[in-house]
Structure 1
């Protein structure tokens, strides 16, 4: 039996309103869902991205640690969004227009990408597999 694809990614954010505005601009869309989860333990905002993937922002009702994201800690390292190699320059320009700091386009044998971070310092990437 083949291993299933990812259906969604959910990240915890410190300021849901600020993160929602930031991701609205990045995704150039509004959330498909913006509600309290039925358990009452968190509020979530969910975006429906092309390709069927859902991307969620969570704000929990119970306080958590106050440290910022660090990919060197056990857990999530980064989230990569799939693009074509011919789209790299366009996404770099889009990040520039949004005022989002980002890396230069980096090329490696396994693909090419642009790294950047969200308001909580979560590592994100536009990634193009090799042709």
Structure 2
């Protein structure tokens, strides 16, 4: 038996409308789902990524989170989106056009990537494994 692939990643955001607009611009696509979850405990906007993975933005009912993301706390460190090495420069250009601060392309023996953050400071990365 092999371990299964990820089907989706869901992150909690402080302002769902603002984050949905930001991710729509970044991904170049509208959410495929934007609804209150059946239990009524959260609302989600979900994007379909290439390869079949879903990427969700959640906001929960009740008291809103007051802290921004910090990868040094236990939990999520970052989310990396898979791309080819030849695509990295194009993504730097797109991030710059969108006004999203980024690291530029960084090369390492384990691959190459671009680091950037969303409106809640969640660490994101475009990552290309070595060829």
User: Is the contact made by 2:81 and 2:125 (CA closer than 8 Å) also made in structure 1?
Assistant: yes
Structure 2 equivalent of residue 111 of structure 1:
111
Q: How does 1:9-24 map to 2 (within 5 A)?
A: 9-24=9-24
Query: Is the Cα–Cα contact under 8 Å of residues 80 and 124 in structure 2 kept in the other structure?
Result: yes
Q: Any idea what the Cα deviations from partners look like across 1:81-109, whole Å, max 9, x if unmatched?
A: 00000000000000011110000211111
C-alpha contact (below 8 Å) 2:116/2:125 kept by paired residues: yes
* TM-score (normalised: structure 1): 0.98
TM-score, normalized by length of structure 2?
0.98
2:81 maps to what in 1? 81
User: What's the RMSD between the two structures over aligned residues?
Assistant: 0.6
Runs of at least 5 residues in structure 2 that lack an aligned partner in the other structure: none
Provide the secondary structure at the position in 1 that maps to 2:19.
helix
- Determine whether 1:120 maps to 2:120: yes
Q: Deviations over 1:49-99 (max 9, x none)?
A: 110000000010121441110000000000000000000000000001111
Aligned position for 1:92? 92
Count the aligned residue pairs: 131
1: distance between equivalents of 2:54 and 2:88?
A: 22
* Secondary structure of 2:66's aligned partner: coil
Q: Within 1, Cα distance between the matches of 2:65 and 2:44?
A: 19
